[in-house]
A and B are shown apart, each in its own frame.
Chain A
Amino acid sequence: MLAVTDLHAFYGRAHILHGVSLAASGGEVVALLGRNGAGKSTAMKAIMGLVPPAQGEVTFDGRRIERLAPHRIARLGLGYVPEERRIFTELSVMENLEVGRQAARDGAPTWTADRLFELFPNLGRMRERPGGRMSGGEQQMLTIARTLMGNPRCVLLDEPSEGLAPIIVEQMAQSIRALKSEGMCVLLSEQNLHFCEAIADRAYIIEKGQIRFGGSMAELAADASLREQYLSV
């Protein structure tokens, strides 16, 4: 569903991504692992068009998207959940969801506010609360729900477990499994290996803007030296 080939990207003059290639398909959770500053977030932003790729190809559902504007990419059914959450703090929960709303899409689950409140029960209890007056965990739920309102076929989750309490991380894992069972494609960036082991089918390791490993989650779990080399701090 999503295929990235030889992607290069710059932040100003700094060359961040040096030819990243990865792929993810429907009904699959793929983890992009790496340390702080390895290029995970930039890879996500480059796929989404928020950082224009300097070189390389991004294919989504058979369409080349690397030169499209972010809103066009989102309209094709690729959802993006930013690391910093970027909740609209002045808007209520319902209004945040409204901003993300898009028409129903073939081949993707159709979300309504009520369905999302089943997935994230906390949100249903604070429909009118302004986004700025929610806890970090609640905001993380809301930012995912907001993206799902666009009925995406595939979502990019940038560090969804970051800064959350263990019990919320567990809820998050359940929600991601629910998305997978709906046939969605999930690409998530993470530093939390434990979290990924619970939900991901496959994993890539990125370091210094290059992919160093690609394989099944089981393979990675079995290879202590790989983890030591690229993931331990």
Chain B
Amino acid sequence: MSFASILIQLLNGLAAASSLFLVSAGLSLIFGVTRIVNFAHGSLYMLGLYIAYSLIEMLGRTPLGFWGGVVLAALAVGLVGIVIETAVLRRIYRAPELFQLLATFAIVLVIKDAALFAWGPEDLVGPRAPGLGGAVEILGKRIPVYDLLLIAIGPLVLAIMHLLLRRTRWGALVRAATQDREMVGALGVDQAKLFTSVFFVGAVLAGLGGALQIPREPANLDLDLSVIADAFVVTVVGGLGSLGGALLAAVLIGVAKAFCIGLGFSKLTLVAEFVIMGVVLVARPYGLLGKPQAVARTAGEAPPPLSPPRWQFPVGWIAVLAVIPLLTDQYVSVVLIDIACFALFAVSLHFIMGPAGMVSFGHAAYFGLGAYAGAVLFKKAGLPMEAALLLAPFCAGLFAVVYGWFCVRLSGVYLAMLTLAFAQISWSIVFQWDALTGGSNGMVGIWPAAWLADKGVYYYVALGLCGAGIAVLWRVLFSPFGYVLRAGRDSPLRAEAIGIDVRGFQWAAFVLAGTCAGLAGAVFAFSKGSISPSVVSIGQSTDGLVMVLLGGVDTLVGPVVGAAVFTWLRDALARETDFWRAGLGLVILLIVLLFPQGLVGGLKALYARWRAA
């Protein structure tokens, strides 16, 4: 490879880095002040692209129309940010962190469908920047002028943000609030206004990042999650709250990706950034330029202790579930099989994020790997279906052994993002390994053995296996192992001090949860007959989070209720309307605003109040 082509790849990487930096800077700024991980930040980027497309169409493809469109689009996205902050987030700043996350998921769903409604499902290819469509020749290679401009914009925005934060009163307030927002309030600063302004600036950055990509990237509906995953990686690699770190990380990742493509390893691009993230996080757990997080001063109380269910409870439900297929049509059984799989998936996620205190953004890795392991063992290795079904969970467990070893070294947001990274690596492998997994087409013909072919029979098997998985996880929670996990969550230092190897137990919990999620995935795969990479996707991971949070993370049966409600709701909405995501998002928002402890938590509180009255 010549020097010239190295240079080209470098410039390519730098051009891609600018927008990534803008989104990550906004994400980081918002997280610093409000302590909210805004999952909807990728959606704001996507909106920036779409709005810029429409505005430029309206204003005309002239320099004024183009740049006017880009700037107005960024401001419009800023207004969307203000609406999100005032209508939703402001009401839940005192709610647990995870619940805020759930609210931002819901916003992702709503924005996706709003964009689908407004711009339709087709990719929209935007215009080139008028006057900048040409290219300059560097060392005999042609570089688009627009790319050079983009390369300059990243550092320029960093400089502007630096001045804003270091030289203005607003900047002093933002930095002060990042450390101790309650104290800032006690000094007479209206936090609500400060938060709104921060959200506006963060949203403008995301919108600008999207709008600037209009000549380079078609507007499409999948940008939201892919951009947020990239932005997470950049933020975490750079260090949360460090804008300089975000630029550094964006450049590092942009360049690494460009080189993968340039060297002919284009399949590695998806993996490359996550490998960088894994390496950085293990070597520097707070990112390249980050600092250990200040202990957040929130009104967070320790979660209440879990209470074990009485024996009548499961027995009653098993009886009800056993007779349902005899009384209803096959369709109900199909939905119930889905619910059983997702219930186990959600319970296994709850197992690590509730009692063990390790929030995972990437639990679909184990669900999906379990599903694929079952399919591969059955189709490629030629194992009998029963053996494939029973071995698959342990394959997922093996991955959990490896991924978990890294993950338990981190905590909080960093841990969550590392789990996301591993899930994304798994997804890339599945997506790209055509020979083994069928790549983007997935695998078909994964049918159960003849004696299980009937949906009614498979229903009992699914119910039995998933029920057993849930029973094991719940039983473990009330064993000494479960107590140790909760001790490690509530006070890791004290737990260590009395001789508990917190990390070791967390690792074990991670593997157990991964194995159970794998079982859920395998049961799911054989119930469908086919699988696609979406079972390993970010969407699948977030579905799991939504189920757990919807039901209530501080309750035992919450995840099961959440899985049932979510699966049923999604199914019901999808049959009624094309815009089921928005419907689902609005229902979740409603629940978040009305039941800040989740469905089961909220119902319990209502019941307690009714009994007291």
Instruction: Count chain A residues whose beta carbon lies closer than 8 angstroms to a beta carbon of B.
Output: 25
Instruction: Please tell me if B191 contacts chain A, counting CB pairs below 8 Å.
Output: yes
Stretch at the interface among A95-103, A206-214, A219-227: A95-103
Residue of A nearest to B294 (CB): A89
Q: Is A71 in contact with chain B by the CB < 8 A criterion?
A: yes
In the assembly, what is the distance between CA of A79 and CA of B175, in Å? Answer: 21
Residues A71 and B190 in contact in the complex (CB < 8 Å), given A12-B301, A82-B183:
yes
Question: Across the interface, do B188 and A86 meet the contact criterion of CB distance under 8 Å?
Answer: no
A16 to B301, CA, bound (A): 17
Which residue of chain A has its CB nearest to the CB of B169?
A98
Contact B182 A90 (CB under 8 A): no
Cβ of A137 within 8 Å of any chain B Cβ, yes or no, is no
**Nearest Cβ in chain B — how far from A14, in angstroms?**
11
Which residue of chain A lies nearest to B168 when distances are taken between CB atoms in the complex? A98
Is A1 interfacial (CB-CB < 8 Å)? no
Report the nearest A residue to B189, measured CB to CB: A71
Q: Which residues of B contact A95 (CB under 8 A)?
A: 172, 175-176
**Residues of chain B at interface, number, CB under 8 A:** 19
CA distance A69 to B190 in the complex (A): 9
Q: Are B175 and A90 in contact (CB under 8 A)?
A: yes
Query: What's the Cα separation between A75 and B180 when bound, in Å?
Result: 18
Known: A12-B301, A70-B182, A98-B169. A91 touches B187 (CB 8 A): no
Closest chain-A Cβ to B245's Cβ sits at a distance in Å of 15
Within 8 A of A (CB), among B177-211: 178-180, 182-191
**Which of chain A's residues 75-126 have a Cβ closer than 8 Å to chain B?**
75, 80, 82, 86, 88-91, 95-96, 98-102
Contact partner of A71 among B175, B186, B301, CB < 8 A? Answer: B186
Check B173 for interface membership: any CB of A closer than 8 A: yes
- Min CB–CB distance A130 → chain B (angstroms): 11
The smallest beta-carbon distance between A29 and chain B, in angstroms, is 21
A188 in the interface (beta carbon within 8 A):
no
Distance in Å from the Cβ of B168 to the closest Cβ of chain A?
Answer: 9
Chain B 137-176 interface 0/1 with A at a Cβ cutoff of 8 Å (1 = within): 0000000000000000000000000000000010011011
Which of B169, B189, B190 gathers most chain A CB within 10 Å? B189
Q: From A12, A71, A101, give the contact of B185 (CB < 8 A).
A: A71
Closest beta carbon of chain B to A48's beta carbon, Å: 6
Closest beta carbon of chain B to A34's beta carbon, Å:
22
Contact of A74 among B176, B179, B188 (CB under 8 A): B188
Contact assessment for A99 and B172 in the assembled complex, using a CB-CB cutoff below 8 Å: yes
Docked Cα-Cα span, A52 to B182, in Å, equals 13
Q: Find out whether the CB atom of B179 lies under 8 angstroms from the CB atom of A100.
A: no
Query: Can you name 11 A-B residue pairings with CB atoms under 8 Å?
Result: A48-B186, A69-B185, A70-B185, A71-B186, A71-B187, A74-B185, A82-B186, A89-B179, A90-B178, A147-B187, A150-B187
New contact pairs (13) apart from A86-B183, A91-B175, A100-B187, CB-CB < 8 Å: A12-B301, A70-B185, A70-B186, A71-B187, A74-B187, A80-B186, A88-B175, A88-B176, A91-B176, A95-B172, A95-B176, A99-B173, A99-B176
- The 5 A-B residue pairs with the shortest CB-CB distance, nearest first, are A74-B188, A88-B176, A86-B183, A95-B172, A99-B176
